[in-house]
Amino acid sequence: MKMAGGFSGGITIALPKGRILDGTLTLLKQIGFDCQGFDEGRKLILDFPERHVRFLLLRGADIPTYVEYGAADMGIVGKDALLEQQKDIYEPLDLKFGLCRLVVAQPAERQRPTNALHWSTLKVATTFPRLTEAHFYRKGMQVELIYLGGAVELAPLVGLSDLIVDLVQTGNTLRENGLVEVEEIMQSTARLVVNRASQKTKYEPIMHLIQQMRAYLS
């Protein structure tokens, strides 16, 4: 267990840039925090001293690390990142927004059968190597994983990989790049996470925030 640090005397909450930020800001507004400064994309730290709360705006993939090491007491992040990183943090709430799916996709003109059991060894590009390897392992397949930090859809179009594993919401990005979904690995929604030490040392203020969020979601 990593010890909590962060905002002295208060609660530090890490918020994600990108696809689930809108849902996060809506949730926070409902419990009394107007974080419009983050919506404008310039601020990275926003303080509410009257409520002893500080917000940080981070890359979603970094939030589990910030929370595990106590640089943030709490955070909001996609379930996909939690399963990929396997950090030692507490996950008290499914926030129900930011639904997306982790899928396997291939070029639309690819002639190989969509049943993975009939594929030979393939190169798979992804930002989720742990989840991807586990998925193909369950199928009894060994694949060559190629880690990419972004623009995964480009990989099969330039011959870097045969397939990709990536998050999709509407599927428009796949279609625009001539890719089709082969199968779904998992669904992901936004989750509230808490540093395990903070859960003990700042129990009352953290539980108050959790109860506010739970009441809004119910």
DSSP 105-146: EEETT--S-S-GGG--S-EEEES-HHHHHHHHHHTT---EEE
Q: How many domains does the chain have?
A: 2
Q: What is the pLDDT of residue 1?
A: 44
- Computed from CA positions of residues 32, 36, 39, 42, in that sequence, does the dihedral angle turn out positive or negative? negative
The list of the chain residues with pLDDT below 70 reads 1-8, 39-41, 111-120
pLDDT digits (tens, 9 = 90+) for 82-98: 999 999 999 999 999 99
One domain, residues 193 and 180: no
pLDDT digits (tens, 9 = 90+) for 130-141: 999 999 999 988
The pTM score is: 0.88
Question: Six-digit token pair at 17?
Answer: 């840039």
The CATH number covering residue 37 comes to 3.40.190.10
One domain, residues 93 and 196: yes
Helix axes 21-30, 203-217, angle to 10 degrees: 100
